[in-house]
Homo-oligomer: A and B are copies of this chain.
């Protein structure tokens, strides 16, 4: 069995690739640079994780166009990254318009080219920032598009085993599987030390704290 794993190098996607491997899949990892601020660090992390789980393939790809479109603090250095605020009524500015559909379309083209059986993406509908392209209904609709838009006879399962899990559940599972979290990176903002205040740092730190552990990566004081 072959699986295409979207591997950003963050906590969720790294753990998920280990889960897919544990399920018996051969891992074809895809790392997508969409012009995010912390790409250098994410690419290092994804490379280290792909190597540590002996992926069959590790393909990093550059998608320059999100930077050209703008509208997100992750891809436009002129917009400050929103700090985490659970009372914010609207989406944080770290939302990248329709990003996950782009990632899944590329993953599906790759999976169809490789005759892969499944695609794994580490989306979550709990402990996340309310992005529309992470919700279960979006994933179900995308599976429909995959079924209809690939050649007859192609069957690729879009698997999101973390969609109903908290970050703490994910971390617990990853620790069981021996995920080297010191090689993962979640911060939206910086590359040297994680900022500790963006949405991504917030949920990551909360997970380690809930298990009474300290996160092995460095944070700003």
Kindly state whether residue A98 has any CB partner on chain B within 8 Å: yes
The A contact surface, by secondary structure, is helix
Say whether B113 contacts A70, CB under 8 Å: yes
Give Cα distance in the complex from A37 to B106, angstroms. Answer: 20
Q: A71 and B138 in contact (CB under 8 A), knowing A64-B62, A149-B132?
A: no
Give Cα distance in the complex from A109 to B99, angstroms. Answer: 7
Instruction: Produce 1/0 per residue, A60-82, CB < 8 A to B.
Output: 01111110111100000000000
Give Cα distance in the complex from A91 to B112, angstroms. Answer: 14
Say whether A65 contacts B61, CB under 8 Å: yes
Contact residues in B for A52 (Cβ distance below 8 Å): none
Give the nearest-CB partner of A59 in chain B.
B68
Give Cα distance in the complex from A19 to B68, angstroms. Answer: 27
Contact residues in B for A104 (Cβ distance below 8 Å): 105
